[in-house]
Amino acid sequence: MFKKIVLGIIALALLGGITLGSMVGDPWSVIKGRVFGNRAKEPQIPPQVGEPESMDVETLLASAEDEYFDEAGVQKFREKIEAPDFTLKNLEGQEVSLKDLRGKLVFLNFWATWCGPCRIEKPTLEKLYQEFKDKGLAILAVSIDQGDSVQLVRSYMEEHKLSYGSLLDPENAVGKMYAVRGIPVTYLIDGEGSIIGAAMGARLWDKKEARKLVAYLLEKPKN
């Protein structure tokens, strides 16, 4: 009897077009839904009767882009999600806004000086920055350190010879805007101010896979 039930479920699934993929949840649904607002999906237009099924250039390019993200260990966002703007002070006390970096590929990296995985990741971000800073890459390292955060972060940046931008968010206000639950977390924001990907946890950003992704995104034609 049990075998018949299982076979019946499989048959219904095949007939109804049910796939396992449709049952898997999106790990970034909190960020893309509750935090940034739900976005209606574009209706899928079925091919016309007699229309030949072939892969067009855009589909091929999208497939190649997916591969770049996957190999770099970065979650690609399928929908256009506008990155919430914010203003924070840097180590010199100057205010820096995300919108000031429009036109650049921005790595928005949340971290803290006491974070072990961040210590592993930080030098690789510096190498990535040195390679691509003149080609349009900007890195905003948002520290959630509390207390004398200016001195803590300045000492850390100087000790490890990190030259990219560091901002201070001791109240974790911006972290909450971006639904940060743990660090490090890095968001990739394109030149139009849209979040296109995210990496939860430390990454070795100087590896060839990450560098290939960044090179591709910087060379990608603007819409």
Q: What is the pLDDT of residues 177-189, one digit of tens each?
A: 999 999 999 999 9
21 in a structural domain: no
One of 83, 88, 118, 142 is an active-site residue; which one?
118
pLDDT the model gives residue 223: 62
Taking residues 126-150, what's their average pLDDT? 96
* Banded model confidence at residue 154, pLDDT cuts 50, 70, 90: very high
198 in a structural domain: yes
93 in a structural domain: yes
Q: Please say if the pLDDT value at position 105 is more than 70.
A: yes
Host domain of residue 129 = 78-219
172 in a structural domain: yes
pLDDT the model gives residue 54: 46
Taking the C-alpha atoms of residue 182 and residue 138, their distance in angstroms, rounded to an integer, is: 22
Taking the C-alpha atoms of residue 68 and residue 143, their distance in angstroms, rounded to an integer, is: 28
State which amino acid sits at residue 155: S
The 10s digit of each residue's pLDDT in 30-75 is: 555 544 444 444 444 444 444 444 444 445 455 789 999 999 999 9
Taking the C-alpha atoms of residue 182 and residue 201, their distance in angstroms, rounded to an integer, is: 8
**Cross-strand bridge partners of residue 140:** 108, 165
Domain CATH number, residue 118? 3.40.30.10
29 in a structural domain: no
Taking the C-alpha atoms of residue 90 and residue 138, their distance in angstroms, rounded to an integer, is: 14
Taking the C-alpha atoms of residue 72 and residue 210, their distance in angstroms, rounded to an integer, is: 5
pLDDT the model gives residue 80: 83
* Banded model confidence at residue 5, pLDDT cuts 50, 70, 90: very low
**Residue 46 contacts by C-beta under 8 Å, 6 or more apart in sequence?**
none
pLDDT the model gives residue 86: 98
6 in a structural domain: no
24 in a structural domain: no
Higher local confidence (pLDDT), 27 or 199: 199
The answer to whether residue 118 is catalytic is: yes
Q: Helices marked H in the chain — which ranges?
A: 2-16, 29, 57-72, 116-132, 149-159, 173-177, 208-219
25 in a structural domain: no
**Number of domains forming the structure of the chain:** 1
pTM for this model (two decimals): 0.74
